[in-house]
Amino acid sequence: MSGLLAAMLEATGPTLFHYVLVPLIKIAIVLFAGVLPLIMYLVLAERKVLGFMQARVGPNRVGLWGLLQPIADVMKLLVKEDVVPRRAVRWAFVLGPCLVVAPAFVIFSVIPFGPPAATEGGISWFVTDINVALLMVLALATLPVYGIILGGWGSNSKFSLLGGLRSAAQMISYEVPQGFALVGPLLLAGTMSLVGIVEAQRDLGMWFIVPQFVAFFVFLVAGVAESNRNPFDLPEAESELVAGFHTEYTGIRFALFFLGEYANMIVVSSVAVTLFLGGWLRPFPSVEALSFLDLSFLPAGLGGVVWFSLKLFVFLFVYIWFRGTFPRYRFDQLMALGWKWMIPLALVNLFLTGLVKVWV
Amino acid sequence: MSDRDPERPDAKGDAPSEDAAKSPGGDDGAEAGGEAPQEDAAQAEAAAKAKAEAVAQAKAAAAEKARLAREAKAREEAAKPAWERDPATPEWEDADDPLARALKEELGEALLSARTYAGDLTLGVERGAVRELARSLKERHGFRLILDVCGVDYPDRDPRFEVVYHVYDIQTDRRVRFKVEVGEDEEVPSVVSVWRGADWPEREVWDMFGVRFAEHPDMTRILMWEGFEGHPLRKDFPVEGIDTGSAIYPEYYEDEAGPVAGTGTGWKPQPPPTTDE
Amino acid sequence: MTDATDSRQPGDHLFDVEEMELNFGPQHPATHGVLRLKLKIDGERIVGCYPIIGYLHRGTEKLFELHPFFQNVPHTDRMDYVAAATNNLAYVGAVEKLVGLTVPPRADWIRTILCELQRISSHLLWLATHAIDIGAMTPFFYTFREREVILDLFEEYCGARLTLNCMRPGGQPYDLPVGWVEKCRAFCEEFPERIEEYEGLLTENRIWKRRTIGVGVLDPEVALDYGVTGPMLRGSGIGYDVRKARPYAAYDQVEFDVPVRHNGDTYDRYLVRMEEMRQANRIVLQGLEKLPEGPLMAKRPRVMKAPKEGESYYSVEGPKGEIGFYIVGQGKPEPYRCHVRAPSFINLQALPDMVEGALMADLVAVIGTTDIVLGEVDR
């Protein structure tokens, strides 16, 4: 492996190697070995977990414990007929699902799944570490709503349109508290680089969830709303709007929306883990006695990746748990919750954090 | 109920003869019939031998025997639990009911009849006085809940249809039925202004029987679609339905050859209608 | 808006608005069948609602006129197909009243037990669909677990799970199978805990409360005016229950309460129905306890004929409300006219009143709480 890399470095020269080739390889790995299988099995896990919550077994026919179910699902979605309604606005209809999926995947490029390289030339567990990563996350997280609106409007169906409208209102309402909630950790860390924020937590000796509990709570709720999940799944509320914005979608285009929803779940969870739960850090990162939790026997910082994954799974489980437990909010209640509770809460938290930062 | 049972055969009028032929319930009737030939034979013998007194005696004895047997059977019958007795078919009785009297006073001649069947008070009312009766029932007598409005079709009668209303008084748990007769082209005053709950049932009566209700806010079909011809619950409407294929899709079905009309082959294969782009 | 003159009145919208017409159904997940609502919506707010029914009309009332009294029982199964037993009872009751049959007590008790089990199963289905309409998915599976047991009990009794055809004019066609009473008792003893489980998921759930309290309010006056019966009426504070008002079958010999709540909103109707399940369970337990021995069928003619002139209206308390049959006999072995007072049909009339001014999301909650079965609405 390292021999191959060295040969490539030799062939391409350091600039091309470090700034093009390695990121490309990493992107390929993150996408095809990380995110996509994760999404596929997240769907399976959701069905299984929901099944156990609901006194049934979930999928268990395709493969052992239904393990091949995601593959069957993907095959089904891919080979289904792709229908574009005759009266649909074609470009909007086609562009919609792409706009939902692409930004979610781009965000993965700045998420640190594990620690940076311990030594020069070692493996860093992220695609890139840019100094405006948080800003980029915020900016990209806003984009899917355009896809949903376009898809809803372009379908030329009233239910889709209503779904799109709901989505727009919801996203705008929850974008704001989510942004404010992110500023808290940002103030504490003093950097926008996600790697920098995790390192700041290590230096502080505790995860930011401790000083920023309110922000964490706000971010969690807003994140669930952002990814259109229960109890905030209004844009696709099945019993009200049939399937909301994706009523008219079939086959691969529907699969893209589906993919986008789950990718968004993972993105929001990853950001939350990075900002509030110490990313790749073990619990109580400053307590020496617990240093065995670092799993330093694993090579190349893999221990950090394990910790990150564990936290991520907990988050994803919470999502599924919500779905198994809550009824759906009503549209006006959702807005009221966002504007009357989330935003003031986030602002107060921001204010207090600022005070602490100035005077302590 | 048990006191009415023994005298049932007399009270039933012409019914028992039919009952006796078809049902095991007509036991006493059959027995009484079996007595007759014996009596006839005895009478013939008596005429021949001119022993009128003996005959009279025998006859009396036979009658006495029959009466005793009947009484014994009635006793036996009365001793049995209700479900082992013959069904006690209820009958129409003139109602002696304070409500009926009060309504008679209010409505006068417009209240045509007040009878009970199986304990249910049934009022007959003139067509024009329906709303008046309804208002009186609701406002003066407390029948605030309308249970139902339905139609009945009697093709042989002169006002062909009957519209039947059931209303209920929640306070005293009383139920009253009132009926109005209406001809084919006549209208019944709607009672929607009295009970809003009559809205859909009245529409249903219009839909199913073709009885219109005057001053109904929305006298449209409810179960069948607008444009459907005919009223399905009329007795002359065919049970297997009528062909509606050609009415709905004239471009697909030949006249009178839609899926219901029996052939099912009236389908004219055609490209689907193109909508404008 | 280039026009300089402004004719807007205070309270008008700032911009030109158009009301959107939306066809809600007949194919829609939340309409519980083929209900179609023509909605006028302003954004998400409903300003007009016009129900259009008849998509499931099968002319059952016409069919009643074709078949002898005995053969009509299966038709009644197919009206409120989630509560066949109460339909059966209303029909056979009307026939018995028409011809004057008296039902033996054991049959009466079996009918009572079956009807109350049916009420539980119907309310379970209502709870499942109502909850899933409001977005809570899990109660669906929990309630179906218990409903399955009840359907199995039905299957064991009469061979069918939904379309029971389990009563005949004059009595019951079969006795309870061996072991049925024990199985039923085992279920009934466990069932209250299950209700706790559903209530644990919903009753105190903040979202559930916010979605149901104050939604679809039906004032008692309005409810009465519309002829609404059943849990809908009892949720509005009027305790009319046919089982108490005019006891039929063995209901005069059992103890039970009629839950009444006074706010008339979706939440109260939910609580009323939950309590009704408990009471139904209580009645079933009493029925199993008191079940007398004896014959199942009254003495009846082989060919049952209606009297020359006669009509009867007989109603029972179905899970949805008062279900009544009005039968006119003309001396023939089949009804001359058989009309069904279908509670869903009557209750559905009140829907526009309940949803106008509400939001789209409330609409599905209100449809759910009305508890309609389209088979019965359209007949």
Domain residue spans of chain C: 59-378
A176 close to A345: Cβ distance less than 8 angstroms: no
Identify which of C104, C295, C349 has the shortest CB distance to residue B197.
Answer: C349
Residues 6+ apart with CB under 8 A from C272: C231, C234, C235, C259, C260, C261
Beta strands across the sheet bearing B120-125: B92-94, B111-117, B120-125, B174-182, B161-169, B145-153
Cβ <8 Å between A326 and C210: no
Chain C residue numbers with beta carbons less than 8 Å from the beta carbon of A165 are 43
Question: Diameter of chain B by CA atoms?
Answer: 108
Is B216 in a helix, a strand, or coil?
A: coil
pLDDT higher than threshold 60 for residue A323: yes
Distance CA C249, CA C316 (A): 9
Say if residues B82 and C102 touch (Cβ distance below 8 Å). Answer: yes
CB contact under 8 A, C240 and B144: no
Report the residue from A233, A237, A324 with minimal CB separation from C138: A324
Distance, in angstroms, between C127 CA and closest chain B CA? 26
Per-residue pLDDT at B15: 41
Nearest Cα residue to C58 out of B200, B229, B233, B248: B233
For an interface test with A, the pick among C138, C198, C203, C265 (most A C-beta atoms closer than 10 Å) comes out as: C138
Spatial separation of the C-alpha atoms in residues A35 and A43, rounded to whole Å: 12
* Partners of residue B167 on adjacent β-strands: B146, B176
Which superfamily, per CATH, for C59-378?
Cytochrome-c3 Hydrogenase, chain B (1.10.645.10)
- Which chains sit next to C, with 3 or more Cβ pairs under 8 A? A, B
> Residues of B with CB below 8 A from C101's CB?
83, 87
CB atoms within 10 A of CB C160: 15
- Chain C residue with Cα closest to B165: C326
C263–chain A nearest CA distance, Å: 20
Number of Cβ within a 10 Å radius of residue A41? 14
Report whether C376 contacts C80 (CB < 8 A).
Answer: yes
A121: confidence class by pLDDT, cuts 50, 70, 90: low
Give backbone dihedrals phi and psi of C292, rounded to 5 degrees, phi first. -85, 160
**What's the confidence (pLDDT) of residue C91?**
92
Say what percent of chain B tops pLDDT 70. Answer: 70
Structure confidence by residue, pLDDT tens digits, C242-266: 888 888 888 888 988 899 998 888 9
- The answer to whether residues C185 and C285 touch, using CB atoms and an 8 Å cutoff, is yes
Take residue B96 and report the two structure tokens written for it: 């002696």
Provide, as residue numbers in chain C, all residues whose Cβ is less than 8 Å from the Cβ of A330: 210-211, 359, 361-362
DSSP state of C8: P
Res A122: pLDDT? 65
Which chains sit next to A, with 3 or more Cβ pairs under 8 A?
B, C
CA distance C261 to B49: 87
Chain A residues within 8 A of C137 when measuring between CB atoms? 50, 54, 230, 323-324
Q: Which residues contact B199 (CB under 8 A, 6 or more apart)?
A: B192, B216, B217, B218, C349
Average pLDDT over residues C217-223: 89
Residue of B nearest to A89 (CA): B277
According to DSSP, the residues that pair with B165 across neighbouring strands are: B149, B178
Check CB contact of B277 with chain A, cutoff 8 Å: yes
Partners of residue C208 in chain A, C-beta under 8 Å? 327
Q: Closest to C141 (Cβ–Cβ): which among A56, A166, A323?
A: A56
> C22 - beta bridge partners?
C39
- Confidence (pLDDT) at C18: 73
Taking contacts as CB-CB distances below 8 angstroms, the residues of chain C near A158 are 20, 22
Could you tell me if C328 lies within 8 Å of chain B, comparing CB atoms? yes
pLDDT given for residue B12 in this prediction: 39
Nearest CB to A242 within list C28, C131, C136: C28
Tell me what the mean pLDDT of segment C197-224 comes to.
88
Quote the pLDDT of residue A119.
67
Three-class SS of residue A135?
Answer: helix
The pair of structure tokens assigned to B102 is 């009060």
pLDDT-derived band at A230 (thresholds 50, 70, 90) equals: confident
SS3 (DSSP) at C44: coil
**Encoded amino acid at B23, one letter:** S
Q: Which of residues 119-178 of A touch C (CB under 8 A)?
A: 158-159, 162, 165-166
**Residues C193, C326: Cα–Cα separation, whole Å:** 39
Name which of A131-135, B92-96, C333-337 the model is least confident about: B92-96
Distance CA C371, CA C254 (A): 26
| H or E segment to which residue A176 belongs | helix A158-189
> Which tops the pLDDT comparison, C164 or B92?
C164
Q: Which of A145-159, B38-52, C82-96 has the highest mean pLDDT?
A: C82-96
Do A86 and A256 contact (CB within 8 A), yes or no? no
Choose from C337, C340, C374, C377 for mutation: most chain B CBs within 10 A. C337
pLDDT at position C5: 57
The whole-angstrom separation of Cα B195 and Cα B202 is 11
List, for residues A84-101, the tens digit of each pLDDT value.
888 888 888 888 888 888
Kindly state the helix (H) or strand (E) to which residue A153 belongs, with its residue range: helix A144-154
Q: What is the pLDDT of residue A277?
A: 85
The SS3 call for residue C167 is coil
CA distance B267 to chain A (A): 27
- The 10 Å Cβ neighbour count of residue C242 is 23
Q: How confident is the model at residue B42 (pLDDT cuts 50, 70, 90)?
A: low
Q: How far is B38 from chain C (nearest CA, A)?
A: 29
Chain A residues 291-350 with a CB less than 8 Å from chain B: none
Interval B182-230: pLDDT, tens: 988 888 898 988 888 888 999 999 988 888 888 888 888 888 887 777 8
- Once rounded to an integer, what is the mean pLDDT over residues A65-70? 85
Chain A: closest CA distance from residue B173 (Å)? 40
Q: How much is the average pLDDT of A135-150?
A: 86
The answer on pLDDT for C1 being more than 50 is: no
Q: How do the residues of chain A divide into helix, strand and coil, expressed in percent and rounded to 5?
A: 75, 0, 25
What distance in Å separates the CA atoms of residue C90 and residue C81, rounded to the nearest whole number? 14
What whole-number distance in Å separates Cα of residue C373 and Cα of residue C81? 8
Q: Tell me the pTM.
A: 0.82
- pLDDT (tens digit per residue) in A12-55: 777 777 777 777 887 888 788 878 888 888 888 888 888 888 88
User: What's the rounded mean pLDDT across residues A286-309?
Assistant: 73
Pairing of strands B212-214, C20-24: unpaired
Task: Report CB contact under 8 Å: B152, C328.
Answer: yes
Q: Which of A156, A141, A23 lies closest to A87, judged by CA?
A: A156
Q: Are A154 and A148 in contact (CB under 8 A)?
A: no
- d(C-alpha C54, C-alpha C57), whole Å: 5
Element (H, E) at A99: helix A90-107
What's the rounded mean pLDDT across residues A189-210?
Answer: 81
Which phi and psi angles does B30 have, rounded to 5°?
Answer: -65, -40
- The chain-wide mean pLDDT, for chain C, equals 87
Interface test with C, best of B22, B83, B175, B177 (most C CBs within 10 A): B83
Q: CB-based contacts of C50: which residues, under 8 Å, 6+ apart? A: C37, C38, C39, C352
CA distance C187 to chain A (A): 17
The 10 Å CB-count burial string (b at 16+, else e) for B159-183 is ebbbbbbbbbbbeeebbbbbbbbbe
CA atoms of B159 and B180, how far apart (whole Å): 10
Confidence category of residue C124, pLDDT binned at 50, 70, 90: very high
Averaged pLDDT for residues C22-42: 84
Chain C: residue nearest A331 by CA?
C361
Chain C neighbors of A325, CB-CB under 8 A? 136, 138, 201
Buried b (16+ CB within 10 A) or exposed e, A27-38: beebeeebbbeb
Percentage, residues of chain C above pLDDT 90: 20
User: In angstroms, what separates the C-alpha of C136 from chain A's closest C-alpha?
Assistant: 4
B267 has pLDDT over 60: no
pLDDT at C348 over 50: yes
Residues A162, C44: C-beta atoms closer than 8 Å? yes
What does the alpha-carbon distance between residue A218 and residue A275 come to, in Å, rounded to a whole number?
Answer: 13
DSSP H helical ranges for chain C: 60-64, 73-77, 84-99, 105-133, 138-158, 180-202, 206-212, 220-226, 231-235, 242-245, 266-290, 343-348, 351-355, 360-370, 374-378
Distance CA C197, CA C143 (A): 10
The 3-class secondary structure across C184-222, one letter per residue, is: HHHHHHHHHHHHHHHHHHHCCCHHHHHHHCCCCCCCHHH
Q: Which residues of B touch C349 (CB under 8 A)?
A: 196-197, 199-200
Cβ–Cβ under 8 Å, residues B240 and B252: no
> Tokens in use for C316?
């029972």
For A43, the token pair is: 């769907």
Provide the pLDDT for residue A118: 66
Contact C307 B147 (CB under 8 A): no
Q: Counting one residue from A and one from C, how many pairs have CB atoms under 8 Å apart?
A: 83
Instruction: Write the residue in B89, B166, B175 that is nearest to C100 by C-beta.
Output: B89
Structure confidence at residue B264 as a pLDDT band (50, 70, 90)? very low
| Cis status of the peptide bond prior to C295, with omega within 30 of 0 | no
Residue C338 has pLDDT above 70, yes or no: yes
Buried b (16+ CB within 10 A) or exposed e, C281-317: bbbbbbbbeebeeebbbbbbbeebbbbbebbbbbbbb
Chain A CB contacts of B277 under 8 Å are 86-87
Mutate to test the interface with B, among C63, C241, C299 (most CBs of B within 10 A): C299
Are residues A300 and A122 in contact, defined by beta-carbon separation less than 8 angstroms?
yes
pLDDT score of B259 more than 60: no
Instruction: Give me the pLDDT at residue C152, please.
Output: 92
Distance from CA of C325 to the nearest CA of A (A): 34
Residues of chain B contacting residue A90, judged by C-beta atoms under 8 Å apart: none
Distance from CA of B83 to the nearest CA of C (A): 4
For residue B255, give how far its alpha carbon lies from the nearest alpha carbon of chain C (Å): 23
Task: Compute the radius of gyration of chain C from its Cα atoms.
Answer: 22
Phi and psi of A300, rounded to 5°? Answer: 55, 40
Q: Would you state the pLDDT for residue B81?
A: 77
Whether residue C259 is preceded by a cis peptide bond, meaning omega within 30 degrees of 0, is no
Residue B130, classed as helix, strand or coil, is helix
Residue C334, token pair as written in the block = 């089949």
pLDDT in tens, C283-295: 999 999 888 888 8
Q: B116-128, pLDDT tens digit by residue? A: 888 788 888 888 8
Which residues of chain B are within 8 Å of residue A87 when distances are taken between CB atoms?
277
Residue A164: Cβ within 10 Å count: 28
Is a pLDDT exceeding 70 seen at residue B6?
A: no
- Residues B188, B151: contact at Cβ < 8 Å? no
Q: Which of B34-38, B262-266, C219-223 has the highest mean pLDDT?
A: C219-223
pLDDT of residue B272: 58
Distance from CA of B192 to the nearest CA of C (A): 10
